[in-house]
């Protein structure tokens, strides 16, 4: 649990990855969601809607140490241009950011802020979505092929408990979403799962599996899709 917290948040950052940490991704996601949901509730009472939404996005970036945002930028730079497989993997390993990565980051941040500012404040919705996104990340680690021979994500491979725990995490997130926002909450969790799966499928097609960057991008894109669905005019 401590290893999962240190990997997914800025608390204890620098601790060596532990293969058992992935079992706790869903619970840590719920904790992150609770922090961000509390920030959403508080910011809404102190600020206008737009600035309050920006505060929530900033809190998310601060709590996660921009880990998944960095993954999104690298994954976009590697997966979206016309490159061969070896070059895609090399680009994702590079520390710089290109036009595809910058575009993806701007689009996702704007999408998250606008979606948060366009719907009622429901802190439990963030608990549901972030629990679901970390569960999906764990599921990918437990079921999909790894695209590299060795890397940061390889520390989390091979745990037989990951798949059932990740599945339970997504189901729990859907229940929390239903309690928080009715069918909108369930639809948001479903949209998150589908969007994340699309990112993973793109990674598998273009590099033969996932990398840590692709997993992070899948979670972040999924959360953004879920927020947009929750904010829809139904």
pLDDT, residue 234, reads 74
| Residue 2, pLDDT above cutoff 80 | yes
Q: What is the pTM of this model?
A: 0.94
pLDDT in tens, 122-140: 999 999 999 999 999 999 9
Query: Per-residue confidence at 151, pLDDT binned at 50, 70, 90?
Result: low
Residues 194 and 24: their CA atoms lie apart, in Å, by 22
DSSP string for 53-73: HHHHHHHHHHHHTTHHHHHHH
Mean pLDDT to the nearest integer, 16-20: 73
- What is the enclosing helix (H) or strand (E) of 163? helix 162-181
pLDDT, residue 100, reads 97
Number of domains into which the chain is organized = 1
pLDDT, residue 20, reads 84
DSSP single-letter state for residue 210 = B
| Residue 16, pLDDT above cutoff 80 | no
From residue 5, alpha-carbon distances to 15, 16, 18, 20, 232 in Å are: 10, 12, 11, 12, 32
Residues 22 and 179: their CA atoms lie apart, in Å, by 26
Residues 73 and 97: their CA atoms lie apart, in Å, by 7
Mean pLDDT to the nearest integer, 95-106: 95
pLDDT, residue 154, reads 66
What is the domain range of residue 118?
Answer: 2-230
């Amino acid at each position: 649990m401590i290893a999962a917290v240190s990997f997914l948040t800025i608390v204890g950052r620098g601790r060596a990855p532990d293969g058992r940490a992935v079992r706790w991704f869903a619970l840590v996601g719920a904790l992150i969601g609770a922090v961000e949901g509390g920030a959403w509730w508080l910011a809404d009472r102190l600020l206008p809607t737009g600035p309050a939404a920006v505060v929530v996005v900033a809190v998310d970036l601060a709590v996660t140490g921009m880990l998944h945002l960095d993954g999104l930028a690298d994954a976009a730079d590697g997966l979206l241009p016309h490159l061969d497989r070896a070059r895609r993997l090399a680009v994702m390993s590079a520390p710089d950011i290109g036009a595809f990565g910058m575009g993806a980051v701007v689009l996702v941040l704007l999408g998250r802020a606008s979606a948060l500012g366009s719907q009622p404040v429901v802190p439990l919705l963030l608990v549901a979505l972030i629990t679901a996104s970390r569960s999906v990340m764990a599921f990918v680690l437990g079921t999909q092929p790894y695209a590299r021979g060795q890397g940061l994500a390889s520390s989390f491979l091979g745990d037989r408990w990951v798949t059932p725990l990740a599945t339970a995490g997504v189901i729990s997130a859907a229940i929390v979403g239903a309690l928080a926002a009715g069918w909108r909450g369930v639809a948001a969790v479903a949209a998150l799962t589908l969007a994340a799966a699309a990112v993973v499928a793109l990674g598998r097609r273009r590099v033969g599996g996932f990398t840590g960057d692709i997993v992070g991008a899948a979670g972040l894109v999924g959360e953004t899709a879920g927020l947009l669905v929750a904010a829809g005019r139904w």
